[in-house]
Amino acid sequence: MSNNADNIIINRAETTKIDSVDFENLTFGNIFTDHMLICDYKQGVWEKPIIKPYEPFLIDPSAKVFHYGQAIFEGMKAYKDDHDDVWLFRPDENYKRFNKSAARLAMPEVPEDVFIEGMKKLIEIDEKWVKTGMGNSLYIRPFMIATGPGVIAAPAQFYRFMIILSPAKSYYSGEVKVIIAEHYSRAANGGIGAAKAAGNYSAQFYPTKLANDLGFQQIIWTDDATHTKLEEAGTMNVFFRINDTLYTAPTSERILDGVTRKSLLDIAKRENINVEVRPVLVEELIKAAENGTLQEIFGSGTAAVVNPIVGFSYQDKYYELPKQENSVALQLKQKLNDIQYKIAEDTFGWTVKI
């Protein structure tokens, strides 16, 4: 059953938390706006969505999200331009990917008007939380969990879809050094690596902690079968610039179809940057690092947009990347940011006004 967003039940907060927030010193994902959206799925039907004050809620201890991990999410942002208009960036792509994740975890698909129109209405209500200025944004977290009770190992009958909002500043992580994975895997063929499933991320925490203990910030994941193909960097898609060509792995059952990734690829092609989407081998990277043709490695994702990597370790040998006077990674980031903040013309039709 589909819901018309005009039928959203709105219960506004009596007070606002906004005056107590230091918008100049935000820790990513720690502060949330005054309202949230909830929509429950019961007896095979989506109920009316509700926008209400942000608050905890009760859930049965036997809810299947706790026992069998039926939980998916998306990450996206809203931006405010210099005219105080608020814009979403490619929300249709997040919506499609969300429902692909839902299907993979045997969860019900969310109607488009609940996801897109509900999100717009929620942001409209909390619009003051979106600040102008490059680097300021509103992080949007749509997610769905299995709320149905019972510990039998089967899909739940009841689900809750929610959207929460968090004001964000520019994402700085300092210098990023990575280890190339030789044992641990992010995902496997036939698995859920292409889904934004909560379990994908918890499974990364332990090997990432081991990397942190060695002085590295992240891992470049390799394929589960041979550990010879470079796939993702931490929780981001990963790019390599060798000579003047940009390489990134094709999406697959193991690799997330990142919205930032595909946007950077389109911008790179528009800017006549040589791009190859194909499997990239560890041995290629080592060879390029040793002969001086490896110019850049960077991750791409919603939070940081582009995250340059300054060096990598493989089999206990560390390879430092050259300092770039004219970084392609930062050029691409700037061009994407300019579209998101409506500084440059959106020739791709990616931005959607609230």
DSSP secondary structure string for all residues of 318-340: EEEPPP-SS-HHHHHHHHHHHHH
pLDDT tens-place string over residues 227-285: 999 999 988 999 999 999 999 999 998 988 999 999 999 999 999 999 999 999 999 99
pLDDT tens-place string over residues 174-188: 789 999 999 999 999
Instruction: Identify the H or E element spanning 124.
Output: helix 118-125
What proportions of the chain, in percent to the nearest 5, are helix, strand and coil? 25, 30, 45
pLDDT tens-place string over residues 274-303: 999 999 999 999 999 999 999 999 999 998
Percent of the chain with pLDDT over 90: 88
pLDDT tens-place string over residues 11-30: 999 999 999 999 998 989 89
- 1: pLDDT confidence band, cut at 50, 70 and 90? very low
Given this model, what pLDDT does residue 174 score?
A: 74
| Domains in the chain: ranges and CATH | 5-168 (3.30.470.10), 176-340 (3.20.10.10)
Given this model, what pLDDT does residue 326 score?
A: 87
Given this model, what pLDDT does residue 324 score?
A: 87
Given this model, what pLDDT does residue 33 score?
A: 98
Mean pLDDT of 63-88: 96
Mean pLDDT of the chain: 94
Given this model, what pLDDT does residue 51 score?
A: 98
pLDDT tens-place string over residues 156-180: 999 999 999 999 988 766 789 999 9
Q: What residues contact residue 180 under an 8 Å CB cut-off, 6+ apart?
A: 219, 220, 222, 230, 282, 285, 312, 313, 314
- 7: pLDDT confidence band, cut at 50, 70 and 90? confident
Given this model, what pLDDT does residue 172 score?
A: 65
Q: Quick one: three-class SS letters along 168-234?
A: ECCCCCCCEEEEECCCCCCCCCCCCCCCCEHHHHHHHHHHHHHHHHCCCCEEEEECCCCCCEEEEEC
pLDDT tens-place string over residues 109-140: 999 999 999 999 999 999 999 999 999 999 99
